[in-house]
Amino acid sequence: MLLSAWILLAHDVHVSLYSCQLDSCQLIARHDKMPAMVKILHYAVLAVIVLGAVYYVWTKPPTINPMIARRGADALAMVQTHRAVGYPTILQAMTEHVRSMRDRGLNARLGEWRVKQVDGDLYEVRVQLRDKSVSGQWFEREFIWHANLSLKRVNAASLPADGITPKPEDINEPALPPPTKPPNVLGPPA
């Protein structure tokens, strides 16, 4: 109904403008003949469009667009190309999980990759994965990694991300001494 009223209004305005080119007095007379309800409807539709645009801008999540922020794009690339357990990269592990769920007839959805600067060269990269179980219940997991651009390191910052991110092999850590024989607290050996 609103659409048909909008089309009629647009048609009347077009005819009025066309008539205006022939005779400017005809435009004024034609505008006065426009029903009041159509004018109100015109302004109501215009107000809804403007309010919708303002609401969208106001509620848009404050994510960094990695294509605009060069450092954010570097952090995203570092996380996505980091090794994963059982796969060459984290991105391949995530997309392979979604594909394998789809092959089994279950739904899985990988959300949008989001990048946020935490501190200096430290960036936080997040992605949500939603799985639908056999019973029909949805499970949502958020994978979070911290990418340090100056150290060129990626660390898992959430339990789901820890499951697919291999543990770093630090050679700077001192080796643990071999385990000693535990003390016998229950008494002499039998």
Which one has a higher pLDDT value, 45 or 135?
Answer: 45
Q: What's the whole-number mean pLDDT along residues 131-153?
A: 88
pLDDT of residue 17: 45
Distance of CA 70 to the CA centre of its chain: 18
Q: In the predicted model, is pLDDT for residue 2 greater than 80?
A: no
- CB neighbour list of residue 143: distance below 8 Å, 6 or more residues apart: 94, 126, 127, 128, 129, 158, 160, 161, 164
pLDDT of residue 51: 94
63 confidence band (pLDDT: 50, 70, 90) = low
Q: 68-110 pLDDT, tens per residue?
A: 578 888 999 999 999 998 899 999 999 998 898 888 888 888 8
Q: 158-190 pLDDT, tens per residue?
A: 888 888 888 766 434 444 455 455 444 444 454
Top mean pLDDT of 57-61, 62-66, 98-102 is at 98-102
Using CA of residue 144, residue 74, residue 92, residue 64, what is the dihedral sign? positive
Q: What residues does each domain of the chain span?
A: 2-59, 70-164
DSSP 8-state symbol, 162: H
Inter-residue contact 73 to 67 (CB < 8 Å): yes
